[in-house]
Structure 1
Amino acid sequence: MGKVNSIYLKSTNERIYPLALNCIVILIVIKRILTPTQVIELYYFFVGILISTMTCLLLAVFKFKASIHMISVSGVFMFFLALSIHFSININGALALMMIAIGAVATSRLHLKAHTYKELIMGLFVGLIPQLILVPYWL
């Protein structure tokens, strides 16, 4: 379609269409596959993913490139942290490995010069905060 120059999506304009498509796919998953009556934890995890993706899309519209990699790993980390609290299970080892993964992702994005510190920190919070806000709905 000619909307993207490369798979790296270096500009914010190139990110708009893939993020919008991702929002549509996640919305379909929430509406058609998952329902709040099935696995409520997974339903709200996907709602958090949708909020994070929509936030990233909004930031791209306003010409700010948040790190989608950081959004992903931080959102999964927050969800696992909430799951460990909810089910009263000890997954400290997995959480520690996930923290290392967050650091590794941030380091690799900086090393590849794909993002700045501000973009990485914004991605971290865009991934964490929606999951944190939705925890009271299922915890």
Structure 2
Amino acid sequence: MNHLLRSISFIFHPLLMPIIGVIFYFSKSPRFIPKEIIWAKLISLLILTVILPILLYFLLKTLGKVKSIYLETTSERIFPLVLNCIVIIIIVKRIITPTQIIELYYFFIGALISSMACLTLAFFKIKASIHMTAVAGVFMFFIALSIHFSINISGTLALMSIIMGAIASSRLHVKAHNYKELITGIFIGFIPQLILIPYWL
């Protein structure tokens, strides 16, 4: 059980949440989007949201800006969060623009707001669970898509609820966060996506 709870934090790492949200969108969207464009977007996003952050983490570790992948202190979170904000800005400027796929554009705008909120809290020495922020943002995006496209995804939402519970349990088990930090993370991920819904729904 100990190994299972620890592995959940890696299986559902925040770096993977944006690409999960994008894959879900393309799988459920009734709009015709050429496969070439879908693959181009997915590969670009995979490079920017997963591969690049991993390389930047090793760079920051080499420079002594972070000690471990867990980013245990608020000071360790500042550089990764700043870089994450820059990456998302590049995405909404170059990869997912409002004239192309407006739903995904606002999904990433919400993610940017969430990252900036976590960064602001880090400056004030306040930790929020980035794991919960990421999964809560994706969860709210899924709910909005189900309304937008008038599709029944109750099974997916139930699974996401279980995943959120598993991630929260994992973070508590490894003593990475307390209840307050988990709840703060949920609100930081959930609220921006909720506020942005009227702009595209």
Give the TM-score band, short-chain normalised.
Answer: over 0.9
* RMSD (Å) for aligned C-alpha atoms: 0.5
Equivalent residue, structure 1, for 2:187: 125
Which of residues 61, 67, 92 in structure 2 aligns to 1:5? 67
1:42-80 deviation line (CA, Å, top 9, x unaligned): 000000000000000001011011000000110000000
Runs of 4+ in 1 over 2 A off after TM superposition: none
Q: Which amino acid aligns with 1:56?
A: C
Q: What's the % identity of the aligned pairs?
A: 73
SS in structure 2 at match of 1:131: helix
Question: Distance between the aligned counterparts of 1:128 and 1:120, measured in 2?
Answer: 12
Equivalent residue, structure 2, for 1:101: 163
Q: Which amino acid aligns with 1:108?
A: S
Question: Distance between the aligned counterparts of 1:93 and 1:7, measured in 2?
Answer: 32
> How many aligned positions are there?
139
Equivalent residue, structure 2, for 1:63: 125
Cα deviation, residue 106, structure 1: 0.5
Question: Distance between the aligned counterparts of 1:33 and 1:39, measured in 2?
Answer: 10
SS in structure 2 at match of 1:65: coil
Question: Distance between the aligned counterparts of 2:192 and 2:169, measured in 1?
Answer: 23
Name the TM-score, length of structure 2 as normaliser: 0.68
Q: Which amino acid aligns with 2:77?
A: R
Cα deviation, residue 35, structure 1: 1.1
Question: Distance between the aligned counterparts of 1:29 and 1:36, measured in 2?
Answer: 11
Gaps of 5+ in 1: none
Q: Which amino acid aligns with 2:67?
A: N
Question: Distance between the aligned counterparts of 1:33 and 1:22, measured in 2?
Answer: 15
Whether 2:94 is the aligned partner of 1:32: answer yes
SS in structure 2 at match of 1:129: helix
Q: Answer 1 or 2: higher relative contact order, Cα 8 Å, separation at least 6.
A: 1
Gaps of 5+ in 2: 1-62
Cα deviation, residue 6, structure 1: 1.4
